[in-house]
């Protein structure tokens, strides 16, 4: 039987070099995947020499869309895969759980999904996953070939579920966790919809007045003659400026907005803007609550499904959106892995209140921190929901107040102009 020399990385990212026997190169790669190794180089030994038969594999499996050499897609497959995104993760897992909870194996369930599911994108995704399963890959390895759909936490959870034989329970907990995250995003979007609508209406009213109504009133006032009060002169000057330079201002704002958005997308821009968010009291409280919620939700799900503490903490770190908080949590994680407890290391992050730390300390003292994390997540789901409602009211009230002030100022300016002109005629 042929022997293959390989270089790979284990789950901890450490390099491994060894040899194994396999009927073919594809079988060798399957065996490496079954051992949890990420192949970097594979060479077949013949006559005591190595015949290199593969190119270097991706350096980090979960952060690239390229598959291992054993499942390298064709050009058409790679083109189809581009349409897959994170939004397909929850529907796919829900469909898979509906079938596996009825008694089907994961492989048979995915085979049925690849034939019968109606959504075209999910149908294509199921088909490609089934193709990998039919070649001998396990479920978690097949899903890992689609990092744009299934993140590292999802793959690791399912891998742990397969190893312990509790795949259905893992799927159920994962679906519940992802559903909660989706509902939180939906609530955030809904909370911002009304203030955004009011802002658009307010801008529309202002533009209508400056570009359409005020020029006509200005012509009337000029025909009547007389000196206009300061409030009316301010409106007239604003209208003249908007008519002359309005397009340039709008173009400048568009360019600034695009530039700011691109800068915000960079790591340096994200860090700076995240720091800004921590300087606004009301927004800082929301970011803190959201961080605690993401931490408690993710860590509880990972630990409950058998992920080791070290892996769970590193995966949880990636769920923290605010960059300064993520960096602080990274330092705390290093201390935890060196032997400190959660309740001792987390205070230095600056985002965990004393009550949360006390709850974690109680969980650690009892030897099971998962129930404490679940209680914290339940409490902070309510807190984040209340803060979103407060944001909605504050922003909507601010927009309405601005519109009322502007309309009131217009009314005052018009009445002042009419009274001034009337008094000049009476004299």
**Contact present, 202 and 403 (Cβ < 8 Å):** yes
More confident residue, 14 or 424: 14
Closest listed residue to residue 126, CA positions, set 98, 178, 161, 91: 91
Q: Name which of 65-69, 112-116, 118-122, 408-412 the model is least confident about.
A: 65-69
CA distances in angstroms from 279 to 175, 272, 282, listed in the order given: 35, 11, 9
3-class SS at 283?
helix
Would you give the DSSP letter of residue 257?
Answer: H
Tens of pLDDT along 38-88? 677 777 776 544 444 333 333 333 333 333 333 333 334 443 444 788 889
Q: In this predicted structure, what is the pLDDT of residue 76?
A: 40
CA distances in angstroms from 202 to 194, 216, 295, 393, listed in the order given: 12, 21, 38, 16
How far is residue 76 CA from its own chain's centroid? Answer: 28
- The mean pLDDT value for 172-201 works out to 82
Query: Which pair of structure tokens corresponds to residue 209?
Result: 């007045």
Q: In this predicted structure, what is the pLDDT of residue 251?
A: 93
3-class SS at 11?
coil
Q: In this predicted structure, what is the pLDDT of residue 257?
A: 92
The distance in angstroms from the start CA to the end CA of the chain is 115
Could you state, in order of their start, the residue ranges of all structural domains in the chain?
3-58, 85-150, 170-427
Return d(Cα 231, Cα 290) in angstroms, integer: 45
The bridge status of strand 3-9 relative to strand 38-46 is antiparallel
> How deeply is 273 buried, as exposed, middle or buried, from its count of CB atoms within 10 A (0-12, 13-18, 19+)?
middle
Q: In this predicted structure, what is the pLDDT of residue 46?
A: 63
12 falls in which pLDDT band (50, 70, 90)? low
Backbone Cα Rg of the chain: 30
Listing DSSP states for 300-321 in one string gives HHHHHTT--HHHHHHHHHHT--
- The mean pLDDT value for 194-214 works out to 78
- The mean pLDDT value for 250-260 works out to 93
For residue 3, pLDDT over 80 is answered with yes
- The mean pLDDT value for 3-15 works out to 76
CA distances in angstroms from 97 to 90, 134, 179, listed in the order given: 10, 19, 14
Please list, in sequence order, all residues whose beta carbon lies within 8 angstroms of the beta carbon of residue 159, skipping any fewer than 6 positions away. Answer: 36, 138, 140
Tens of pLDDT along 150-186? 988 788 888 878 877 778 888 888 888 888 888 878 8
Q: Name which of 95-104, 115-124, 159-168, 280-289 the model is least confident about.
A: 159-168
Q: In this predicted structure, what is the pLDDT of residue 262?
A: 93
Return d(Cα 247, Cα 258) in angstroms, integer: 17
Q: What is the mean pLDDT of the chain?
A: 79
More confident residue, 74 or 26: 26
Helices (H), 39-88: 75-81
Q: In this predicted structure, what is the pLDDT of residue 259?
A: 94
For residue 215, pLDDT over 60 is answered with yes
- The mean pLDDT value for 135-163 works out to 84
3-class SS at 33?
helix
Q: Between helices 309-318 and 323-337, what is the axis angle to 10°?
A: 170
Return d(Cα 143, Cα 158) in angstroms, integer: 9
What share of the chain in percent tops pLDDT 70? 85
Return d(Cα 400, Cα 412) in angstroms, integer: 18
- The mean pLDDT value for 128-132 works out to 89
Query: Which pair of structure tokens corresponds to residue 282?
Result: 């009301």
**Contact present, 56 and 41 (Cβ < 8 Å):** yes
Q: In this predicted structure, what is the pLDDT of residue 261?
A: 92
Return d(Cα 202, Cα 196) in angstroms, integer: 10
Would you give the DSSP letter of residue 5?
Answer: E
Query: Which pair of structure tokens corresponds to residue 406?
Result: 């502007």
Please list, in sequence order, all residues whose beta carbon lies within 8 angstroms of the beta carbon of residue 419, skipping any fewer than 6 positions away. Answer: none
Long-range contacts of 18-22 (CB under 8 A, 24+ apart): 19/45
Q: Which residue has the tokens 């809904």?
A: 190
For residue 11, pLDDT over 70 is answered with no
């Amino acid at each position: 039987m042929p022997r293959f020399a390989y270089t790979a990385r284990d789950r901890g990212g450490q390099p491994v070099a060894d040899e194994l026997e396999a009927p073919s190169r594809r079988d060798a790669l399957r065996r490496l995947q079954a051992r949890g190794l990420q192949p970097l180089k594979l060479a077949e030994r013949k006559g005591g020499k190595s015949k290199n038969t593969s190119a270097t594999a991706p350096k980090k499996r979960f952060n690239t869309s390229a598959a291992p050499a054993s499942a390298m897609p064709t050009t058409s497959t790679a083109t189809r895969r581009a349409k897959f995104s994170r939004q397909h993760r929850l529907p796919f897992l829900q469909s898979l759980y509906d079938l596996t909870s009825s008694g089907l194996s994961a492989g048979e369930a995915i085979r049925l999904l690849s034939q019968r599911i109606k959504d075209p994108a999910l149908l294509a995704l199921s088909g490609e996953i089934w193709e990998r399963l039919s070649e001998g890959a396990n479920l978690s390895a097949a899903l890992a070939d689609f990092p744009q759909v299934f993140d590292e936490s999802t793959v690791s959870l399912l891998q742990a579920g397969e190893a312990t034989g509790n795949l259905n329970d893992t799927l159920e907990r994962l679906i519940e966790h992802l559903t909660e995250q989706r509902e939180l995003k939906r609530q955030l979007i809904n909370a911002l919809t009304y203030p955004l609508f009011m802002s658009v209406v307010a801008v529309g009213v202002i533009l209508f007045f400056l570009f359409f109504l005020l020029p006509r009133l200005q012509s009337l006032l000029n025909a009547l003659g007389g000196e206009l009060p300061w409030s009316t002169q301010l409106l007239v000057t604003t209208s003249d400026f908007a008519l002359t330079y309005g397009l340039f201002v709008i173009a400048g704002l568009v360019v600034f907005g695009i530039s700011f958005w691109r800068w915000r997308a960079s790591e340096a821009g994200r860090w700076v803007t995240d720091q800004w968010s921590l300087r606004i009291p009301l927004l800082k409280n929301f970011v803190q609550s959201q961080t605690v919620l993401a931490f408690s939700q993710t860590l509880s799900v990972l630990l409950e499904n058998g992920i080791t503490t070290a892996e769970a903490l590193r995966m949880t770190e990636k769920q923290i959106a605010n960059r300064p908080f993520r960096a602080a949590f990274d330092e705390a994680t290093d201390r935890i892995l060196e032997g400190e407890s959660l309740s001792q290391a987390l205070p230095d992050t600056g985002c965990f209140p004393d009550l949360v730390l006390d709850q974690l300390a109680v969980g650690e003292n009892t030897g099971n921190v998962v129930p404490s994390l679940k209680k914290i997540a339940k409490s902070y789901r309510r807190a984040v929901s209340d803060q979103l409602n407060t944001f909605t009211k504050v922003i909507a009230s601010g927009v309405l107040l601005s519109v009322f002030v502007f309309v009131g100022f217009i009314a005052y300016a018009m009445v002042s102009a009419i009274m001034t002109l009337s008094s000049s005629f009476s004299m």
